[in-house]
Amino acid sequence: MSRKTLEIYSVELDGTKDTKQTDQEDDKKYNDLDLKKSHQKEELKRELDLDDHKLTSEELEQKYGTNIITGLSSARAAEHLARDGPNTLSPPKQTPEIIKFLKQMVGGFSILLWIGAVLCWIAYGIQYVNDKSASLDSVYLGVVLALVVILTGIFAYYQEAKSTNIMASFSKMIPQEALVIRDSEKKVIPAEQLVVGDIVEIKGGDQIPADIRLLSSQGCKVDNSSLTGESEPQPRSAEFTHENPLETKNIGFYSTTCLEGTATGVVINTGDRTVIGRIASLASGVGSEKTPIATEIEHFVHIVAGVAVSVGLLFFIIAVSLKYQVLDSIIFLIGIIVANVPEGLLATVTVTLSLTAKRMAKKNCLVKNLEAVETLGSTSIICSDKTGTLTQNRMAVAHLWFDNQIFMADTSENQLNQAFDQSSGTWASLSKIIALCNRAEFRPGQENIPIMKKVVVGDASETALLKFSEVILGDVMEIRKRNRKVAEIPFNSTNKFQLSIHETEDPEDKHFLVVMKGAPERILERCSTIMINGQEQPLGKSNATAFHTAYMELGGLGERVLGFCHLYLPEDEFPESYPFDVDAMNFPTSNLCFVGLLSMIDPPRSTVPDAVAKCRSAGIKVIMVTGDHPITAKAVAKSVGVISASSETVEDIARRCSIAVEQVNKRDARAAVVTGMELKDMAPEQLDEILANYSEIVFARTSPQQKLIIVEGCQRQDAVVAVTGDGVNDSPALKKADIGIAMGIAGSDAAKNAADMVLLDDNFASIVTGVEEGRLIFDNLKKTIAYTLTKNIAELCPFLIYIIVGLPLPIGTITLLFIDLGTDIIPSIALAYEKAESDIMNRKPRHKKKDRLVNHQLAIYSYLHIGLMQALGAFLVYFTVYAQQGFWPTSLINLRVRWEKDELNDVEDSYGQEWTRYQRKYLEWTGYTAFFVGIMVQQIADLIIRKTRRNSIFQQGLFRNKVIWVGIASQIIIALILSYGLGSVTALSFTMLR
Amino acid sequence: MRRQLRSRRAPAFPYGYRYRLDDQDEVNQNYLADEEEEAEEAQVLVVPDLEEEEEKEEEERSQGQPIGNAWWQKLQIMIEYLWDPERRISLAQTGLILFIYFFFYASLAAVITLCMYMLFLTISPYMPTFTERVKTPGVMIRPFAHSLNFNFNVSEPDTWQHYVISLNGFLQGYNDSLQEEMNVDCPPGQYFIQDGNEDEDKKACQFKRSFLKNCSGLEDPTFGYATGQPCILLKMNRIVGFRPELGDPVKVSCKVQRGDEDDIRSINYYPESASFDLRYYPYYGKLTHVNYTSPLVAMHFTDVVKNQAVPVQCQLKGKGIINDVISDHFVGRVIFTLNIET
């Protein structure tokens, strides 16, 4: 197995040069892999009945009514455009703005409040019919309720729209242009005007503007990664090479990029009919899951609305049977509903979410869908991509082998600290080869940019080598200048090596230096000596063994290994003027001196291992899903901690114990590496079993469709699944996931569209911050809701007592709204600023079905403990006010009827004083104000209680959250304004308190 | 705490082990929900490895246990009763919860009771703490039967009989005999100030029904309603400690509120001064001023225009009397309509 792997790796590292070769190698060695591949493609193929790649150019001309030389006529093109529509992907169906707005207006509690408002108006209507001078109170109340609904609706809509706008600006693309031949002329037209039959020319750097069948090509290579996930550039030519349109080389796909070369082709599909278009529409077909927080809030709304309506109806019936008028009973009903519904809460939740979204945007997580903020917090499984998310998406030198020793190189993002021993003479030679035998170059004009950030022209491996040597040796370009290159054989797949011949930098030294790098075993074949400690030694058996051990070890780490050798040409045979001919190879390419090995890997981002560890301690399973080879995948998984150091796969155990894989007890292994091929043959139950039994899983060689299967498998475990991805092919999985996370830099637009969140820095560590924020917001929302629910009892009790005991009404409906929407709003938002309680990342993610946002503990604690205390406290204040004015609590019982009779102007109090109706009303308002202030003051205490759920208030720090104090101040100020500033406004029913 | 207990108990009987696994899982998943489990939870998090060790231990021990022992099973059932591992509730725990609730509500009730008690300590039974809401007296009229519109037909006694009954009933407390028996005849024209302790009983001044002359119902038992000359009694609301300012008695004056001034033509006031004598003030409150009789002024509308609604406004006049509050039509004034049909 490992031997095979080594070979495939040596192939792959050179494979950048010629993928065809790799493919063939692959096919030979991994028939099974090929099987999987073809299976995967078949899935796409079913929808893809494309035979244009089989046709000759003449047939194509006929089919599309075009001419390869002259192109379409403008008239014809216009005709086609009218028939097929523009060459753009139709954007996902958007809900019309007005529908969104109306949804905000009737969603949640709004419908209850609308009912309340309408009941108010009906009540007034009935009153008005009976008595033309009926008071307008209930009309006011109705208007206020309607206003509340409309304002909170507008507010929520605005918040929603604001976050959508961020994305809208994000997804806007630069208009694309295409070079097209029409009417025998080359024209540049906007790509969306392309039609079937157009002849287009593409060159390196262009995005392919539609699905095209290539007619001619000069060294054209395309990057199909957004379509297939293969990161290797694919050569494109005019020949028909494969039955499968996705496999054949003569078709270029819409939205893929032409990396180098030029090509001409005829457009065969445009817009949504392109392959990418079909995948995109597949993604929009995948239903996206309701976010957990939406479910939670719905659950909460159901609970509260249920309580409100049932208590309301219960007391309506009680009121009617207590011989209250039906009209009065309706007013009670409204009061009870208003008291029960936390009007301001949904707005608060929206604000809280958008605050967190903003905070996360600062940490490079752009949240598209506000509710996704919390989803990340409840995530229990992260299916992470490898390339670019866990790794840096570039090659870097990881290990060196020379002098029979393996040295480790620094693979961190800045690579400043190359600490291995550089004193050996071998290193001097090796570094020279690395610097010289390299065709990559820095793009000019980047002198002030750090080496790691400089743009390089050349493939990934060469770039890595160039940067590596630049860091260690200094100016590589200068070294190359001093060692003038006289001849060069570029890499090709037959030779599997790259060679160049240089003059030496010593002007006295007339030797030529041949430097060579390539697949290690090929290089070794050409060597007869080996350099140890700067001395050439014959390549003995022991050296060869050492080489193989090192090669296997490095290959086993999933790294691309390169061998380096050199040879000083004898001066006499190769004089200064010797004409080197690379085609004739008139110079020795064997019996060289082997210098060393160097291995490269796409190194993990330095922040990732820590982030993965954090995820693990937070109870989140990190599953790596990659298209890469299992060995590389496993190596990266190990280095980032997706597979922790102590865990073993079944295969590892088998190897350690030297037993067959079948004999290993599967329960002993904690980690598993599953390839796409294995996955293909698996029943869903088997996948479930794997997902449930192994804590550390790597899926390698997977196709996008399988990614979807994996996500579904995870969701079957009741897990909240986060998926990261960047390609178009990932978009169905991103959509299917509870939260899709797209990469901001590498991500395609399709992926970003399907995702709920975009990582602006493509960094896995940002996900962890996101998780932290998500959990924090869940906790804080819980606090907010607990805070908001508490006063419901204090608001509800007055109505119940009023109906049953007949006290003068302790608090009016409008006054209630002032609590809900006035004093309590800012404090409840302030709770969103509460810092995490210490253990936030050390606990398990919440279970989406068991850990509800509002559970009975919260409800009981809010309603029956704090709420009850609050109600009693407020009543105490109310009784105090009445008692001080002359109505002792005992005299209040059953006073209601006489109290409210307008004509009765000599109601006697406990001292024998007689009160007019207005005097009583004024006292009642004072009572409202007192009750209001009573609740308000207790809410301040409640706010401080709610700051923490687990920690003590002193652990959490009383003053760490400054916003809380702003909230408290706002509460007091609003209450002061209401009771002293607006004392004379009778509609608000506030009076001054002494 | 509980976790430790459990792990010690679990090995005691083999089947507990099976439950414990699911159980533990649930604990972890319930983490957020279960506030009560916090302490326990923290321990689990601190020592995650402990669990595995324990499991092995348990396995070993459970194999050594005799299974199917009757005594054992009985104990099992008993323990299960006390501690149900599936539902994670023990009888003792339930009891404890109930007790805590009881204790909580009991102390809540105690605190509230204490507060109410304190409230009463601060409130004097003789004098309201604040009187600013009723500083100026309101005015009310009699007869009062749900409405301030007097609609009646002179020739139909049924339409006014209830006014007569109401007035008669109201004036029972003013009967001369009763007043003479209960109350003192105090000198007119000056406040009847009774110094002394707050809690001493206060004497009340007589206001005899006969003061109302033609409106007393003594001579004319129909109070003039039968002749279309209704008597309406005006009463000033009682306010503890109220004293008309500067020794001037409060006067009553009625006129047409809106419309022709002449619609009323003449009103006879009884007592003739149309005022509330100073001797009825101040009022010392219900508790000590038990027999206090509110002074009255009767208005006898002798020649009011018939067959049309006449809005009448009667105002109190005097220093310190407010009678023009817009929002309150009953402070210092009263408005009613007379609609007498013949």
Q: Which residue from A553, A442, A569, A558 is spatially nearest to A516, judged by alpha carbons?
A: A569
- Is B32's CB within 8 Å of A906's CB? no
- Is A912's CB within 8 Å of B286's CB? yes
| Closest CA of chain A from B170, distance in Å | 14
Token output for A797:
């009790």
CA nearest A855 in B: which residue? B33
Q: What is the largest CA-CA distance in chain B?
A: 115
pLDDT digits (tens, 9 = 90+) for A603-625: 888 888 888 888 888 889 999 98
Position A934 confidence tier, pLDDT thresholds 50, 70, 90: very high
Q: Is A898 near chain B, with CB under 8 Å?
A: no
Peptide bond into B143 cis (omega under 30): yes
Measure the CA angle with vertex A79, ends A74 and A84; round to 5°: 120
- Is A910's CB within 8 Å of B292's CB? no
pLDDT at A418 over 90: no
Q: What is the largest CA-CA distance in chain A?
A: 134
Rounded to whole angstroms, the Cα distance separating A740 from B80 reads 46
For residue B45, give the nearest of A843, A865, A916 by CB distance.
A843
pLDDT at B50 over 50: no
Please report the pLDDT score of residue A904 as a whole number. Answer: 85
Q: In whole angstroms, how far apart are CA A994 and each of A819, A880, A913, A929, B122?
A: 20, 12, 20, 11, 15
Sequence letter at residue B264: I
- Is A884's CB within 8 Å of B120's CB? no
Q: Exposed, middle or buried: residue A172 (CB in 10 Å: 0-12, 13-18, 19+)?
A: exposed
Position B43 confidence tier, pLDDT thresholds 50, 70, 90: very low
Helix (H/G/I), strand (E/B), else coil: B248: coil
For residue A916, give the nearest of B42, B115, B331 by CB distance.
B331
Residue A365 near residue A769, CB atoms below 8 Å: yes
pLDDT digits (tens, 9 = 90+) for B268-311: 998 888 888 888 888 988 888 888 989 999 999 988 888 888 89
pLDDT at A125 over 80: yes
Rounded to whole angstroms, the Cα distance separating A802 from A329 reads 11
The residue among B27, B133, B234 with the most chain A CBs within 10 A of its CB, best to mutate, is B133
| Closest CA of chain A from B213, distance in Å | 25
Token output for B223:
């109070």
For residue A913, give the nearest of B30, B238, B331 by CB distance.
B238
Mean pLDDT of chain A: 81
Please report the pLDDT score of residue A873 as a whole number. Answer: 93
Token output for A587:
């110079």
Instruction: Give the helix, strand, coil percentages of chain A, each rounded to 5.
Output: 50, 15, 35
- Where are the extended beta strands (E) located within A80-158? none
- Is A885's CB within 8 Å of B33's CB? no
Residue B139 near residue B236, CB atoms below 8 Å: yes
Rounded to whole angstroms, the Cα distance separating B319 from B250 reads 8
Rounded to whole angstroms, the Cα distance separating A604 from A765 reads 11
The residue among B55, B121, B126, B134 with the most chain A CBs within 10 A of its CB, best to mutate, is B134
- Is A843's CB within 8 Å of B41's CB? yes
pLDDT digits (tens, 9 = 90+) for A243-272: 777 778 888 888 777 877 788 888 888 887
- Is B237's CB within 8 Å of A844's CB? no
Residue A179 near residue A207, CB atoms below 8 Å: no
- Is A844's CB within 8 Å of B42's CB? no
Q: Is A902 near chain B, with CB under 8 Å?
A: no
Rounded to whole angstroms, the Cα distance separating B30 from A255 reads 47
Output DSSP code: residue A805.
T
CA A137 centroid distance within chain: 51
Position A48 confidence tier, pLDDT thresholds 50, 70, 90: low
Bigger pLDDT: A934 vs A72:
A934
Measure the CA angle with vertex B140, ends B136 and B145; round to 5°: 155
DSSP characters for A691-733?
HHH-SEEEEES--HHHHHHHHHHHHHTT--EEEEE-SGGGHHH
The residue among A783, A905, A907, A929 with the most chain B CBs within 10 A of its CB, best to mutate, is A905
Average pLDDT of span A362-385: 84
- Is B32's CB within 8 Å of A857's CB? no
The question of whether A839 is a catalytic residue gets the answer: no
pLDDT digits (tens, 9 = 90+) for A883-933: 998 899 999 999 988 898 888 888 899 998 999 988 898 899 889 989 999
Query: Which residues in chain A have their CB less than 8 angstroms from residue B41's CB?
Result: 843
Q: Is A695 near chain B, with CB under 8 Å?
A: no
For residue B31, give the nearest of A843, A986, A994 by CB distance.
A843
Residue A469 near residue A451, CB atoms below 8 Å: no
Output DSSP code: residue B37.
G
pLDDT digits (tens, 9 = 90+) for A772-814: 888 888 888 889 989 988 988 898 899 889 888 989 999 888 8
For residue A846, give the nearest of B32, B45, B283 by CB distance.
B32
Q: CA-based Rg of chain B, rounded to a whole angstrom? A: 40
Average pLDDT of span B261-271: 86
CA A585 centroid distance within chain: 53
Q: Is B146 near chain A, with CB under 8 Å?
A: yes
Q: At A593, which helix (H) or strand (E)?
A: strand A592-601
Q: Which residue from B254, B32, B92 is spatially nearest to A786, judged by alpha carbons?
A: B32
Residue B297 near residue B232, CB atoms below 8 Å: no
Please report the pLDDT score of residue A438 as a whole number. Answer: 87
- Is B108's CB within 8 Å of A986's CB? no
- Is A869's CB within 8 Å of B131's CB? no
Bigger pLDDT: A803 vs A457:
A803
Phi/psi of residue A562, nearest 5 degrees: -120, 145
Position A227 confidence tier, pLDDT thresholds 50, 70, 90: low
Residue A864 near residue A820, CB atoms below 8 Å: no
Q: Is A857 near chain B, with CB under 8 Å?
A: yes
Residue A704 near residue A730, CB atoms below 8 Å: yes
Please report the pLDDT score of residue A289 as a whole number. Answer: 62
CA nearest A861 in B: which residue? B35
Residue A222 near residue A234, CB atoms below 8 Å: yes
Query: Which residues in chain A have their CB less than 8 angstroms from residue B293's CB?
Result: none
pLDDT digits (tens, 9 = 90+) for A189-198: 888 888 888 8
Considering the candidates A23, A206, A385, A942, report the single residue annotated as catalytic.
A385
CA A294 centroid distance within chain: 18
Work out how many CB contacts closer than 8 A connect A with B: 142
Position A62 confidence tier, pLDDT thresholds 50, 70, 90: confident
Token output for A157:
């809509």
* β-pair type (A199-203, A257-269): antiparallel
Residues whose CB is less than 8 angstroms from the CB of residue A679 and which lie 6 or more positions away in sequence, other chains included: A687, A699, A702, A706, A709, A710
Token output for B69:
């022992």
pLDDT at A875 over 90: yes
DSSP characters for A218-256?
EEEEEE-HHHH---S-EEE-SS---SSTTT-TTEE-TT-
Residue A561 near residue A597, CB atoms below 8 Å: yes
Interface ipTM: 0.76
Please report the pLDDT score of residue A969 as a whole number. Answer: 93
For residue B285, give the nearest of A911, A917, A950 by CB distance.
A911
Average pLDDT of span A303-316: 87
Output DSSP code: residue A285.
H
Bigger pLDDT: A417 vs B310:
B310
Please report the pLDDT score of residue A287 as a whole number. Answer: 58
Sequence letter at residue A502: H
Mean pLDDT of chain B: 77
